[in-house]
Amino acid sequence: MPNLSFVTPTRNSPWGTYLSQIDAVEPYLGKLARWVETLRRPKRALIVDIPIELDNGTIAHYEGFRVQHSLTRGPGKGGVRYHPDVTLEEVMALSAWMTIKNAAVNLPYGGAKGGIRLDPKQLSLKELEKVTRRYTSEIGIIIGPTQDIPAPDVNTNGQIMAWMMDTYSMNVGATATGVVTGKPIPLGGSLGRVAATGRGVFVVGREAMRRLNVPMEGARVAVQGFGNVGSVAAKMFAANGAKVVAVQDHTGTIHNDTGLDMQDLLDHVARVGGVAGFKGAEAIANEDFWDVKTDVLIPAALEGQITAERAKRLHTRIVLEGANGPTTPDGDAVLAERGIIVVPDVIANAGGVTVSYFEWVQDFSSFFWTEDEINVRLDKILIGAFKGIWETSEQHRIPLRTAAFTVACTRVLQAREERGLYP
Ligand code: NAD
């Protein structure tokens, strides 16, 4: 492990997970391996203090981050997460996975990510706006439409992107729609962006199922996380003939062997804020989620969920990673040993950043596409990228994750070599 004084990763922590993925890809990089060390450290990491006055008159301070892991292939690109467990180490790992993801689907971006260590559920809307605006001003010295373009991630959404866009625009004295993606449509957002990540999870999952001869009709699917990514993916699987038999979120776990009614569940979650208490299913213990018999298991919540212990219990054929970094290195090793195919995050959830790229292009050209055009282009990019990764995996007889890293790291390091080292 490189000796960075500002993080102390362990084997299964987020940055430790990323580093072990880089170790695995190194033998497949040929002469470009001489540059691999550049991937083991972020280019730039900014830590900011965010003081705000709360509604009750007290002053609260929050810790914020923006990490640009790589700007080799283009501007930084990656979401902003609001969560009480956010740390510099986590944001570093998420930024590095963005470098890999953007290169895996060949978008002209580097990789970046941001976060604020807070529980947004504890803040009023006004307080949330203040935190967002102050954070945007603080990281304003390194973001911009051609420098680094944030987007939504866990607990952030179109409203937060609107405040970010407005704050950045006020600071530079011009309306800069291209500074963030995932914006509401009236501010230069793109049709299809909200559903894009979940749609991509479905499209890539369907390709993997075809390759592995797993029929879609009647396929058993379980989803952890029923937010932006998990709910859209689940809905698309169900609409295409699969049965969503279990769903887990932060409120609990529900199970129905004959398949959950997706529209009823979506209505329930919109009404009460989580899956717990849904009438059309039985409640099961959270840990029992990992024992449910499935064909496709979709972790779509947070990282580090599929540990070695849980991997030993899974009854599934495919793990389709909607979340970023949901499988630990030890979990990965157990899944490989058991012959369970892992479709890695860097391709499975790349739909969101792909439509973010379309949004950015539309903002620059001030010419907007129809939702059909967006979806056709999205599917084409993801299907093409998955095919290349599948073939690399077969060629070297390596897991899909190492194949995706091989394709991506080769692109990043080729660009690195051609640019050369400054000065
Ligand atoms: P979200 O905030 O919309 O939803 C998160 C979901 O996870 C919620 O249903 C929540 O209840 C659930 N959850 C939280 N903690 C949990 C726990 N301990 N156990 C079980 N469930 C829990 O977030 P999202 O945008 O859907 O993101 C989910 C994952 O997908 C994250 O890893 C994120 O980085 C990744 N991702 C998101 C996007 C995007 O466009 N939103 C793109 C790529 C990857």
* Model pLDDT for residues 255-304, shown as the tens digit of each residue: 999 999 999 999 999 999 999 999 999 999 999 999 999 999 999 999 99
State residue 67 phi and psi, 5-degree precision.
-115, 130
Distance from the alpha carbon of residue 33 to the mean position of ligand 1, in angstroms = 34
Residue 320 and residue 201 in contact, taking contact as beta carbons nearer than 8 Å: yes
Residue 168 and residue 181 in contact, taking contact as beta carbons nearer than 8 Å: no
The token duo for 252 is 């609990």
The token duo for 125 is 């809307």
321 CB within 6 A, ligand 1: no
How many CA within 13 A on the CB side of residue 315?
9
- Atom 16 of ligand 1, nearest CA residue: 250
Distances in whole angstroms, Cα of residue 423 to Cα of each of 216, 222, 304, 417, 420: 54, 51, 39, 14, 9
295 CB within 6 A, ligand 1: no
Beta strands in 202-312 (DSSP E): 220-224, 243-249, 252-255, 282-284, 296-299
In the chain, count H helices and then E strands.
13, 12
CA 299 to chain centre: 11
The token duo for 58 is 């007290």
Q: What was the pLDDT predicted at 1? A: 66
In the residue annotation, 113 being an active-site residue is answered as yes
Q: What was the pLDDT predicted at 3? A: 78
Stated as kind and residue range, the H or E segment containing 49 is strand 44-53
Residue 371 and residue 391: Cα distance in Å, rounded? 30
Q: What was the pLDDT predicted at 182? A: 97
Residue 101 and residue 80: Cα distance in Å, rounded? 16
346 CB within 6 A, ligand 1: no
Residue 320 and residue 203 in contact, taking contact as beta carbons nearer than 8 Å: no
Residue that the structure tokens 């890695």 belong to: 344
pTM over 0.85: yes
Residue 268 and residue 279: Cα distance in Å, rounded? 9
Nearest CA-CA partner of 188 in 198, 179, 199: 179
Residues of the chain with pLDDT under 70: 1
How many CA within 13 A on the CB side of residue 58?
4
Q: Which residues are bridge partners to 393 per DSSP?
A: none
Q: What was the pLDDT predicted at 2? A: 73
Counting ligand 1 atoms within 8 A of each CB, the residue from 229, 272, 297 with the most, and so the one to mutate, is 229
Residue 39 and residue 24: Cα distance in Å, rounded? 13
The token duo for 147 is 């420098």
- Atom 33 of ligand 1, nearest CA residue: 323
229 CB within 6 A, ligand 1: yes
399 CB within 6 A, ligand 1: no
Catalogue all structural domains in the chain, each as residue range(s) with its CATH number: 42-187 (3.40.50.10860), 196-348 (3.40.50.720)
Residue 21 and residue 332 in contact, taking contact as beta carbons nearer than 8 Å: no
State residue 369 phi and psi, 5-degree precision.
-95, 165
- Point out the catalytic residue in the list 113, 183, 235, 243: 113
The token duo for 16 is 């430790």
Residue 84 and residue 38 in contact, taking contact as beta carbons nearer than 8 Å: no
Residue 258 and residue 388: Cα distance in Å, rounded? 36
The token duo for 315 is 């009854």
Residue 337 and residue 331 in contact, taking contact as beta carbons nearer than 8 Å: no
Nearest CA-CA partner of 168 in 363, 367, 361, 365: 363
CA angle 181, 303, 247 (to 5 degrees): 90
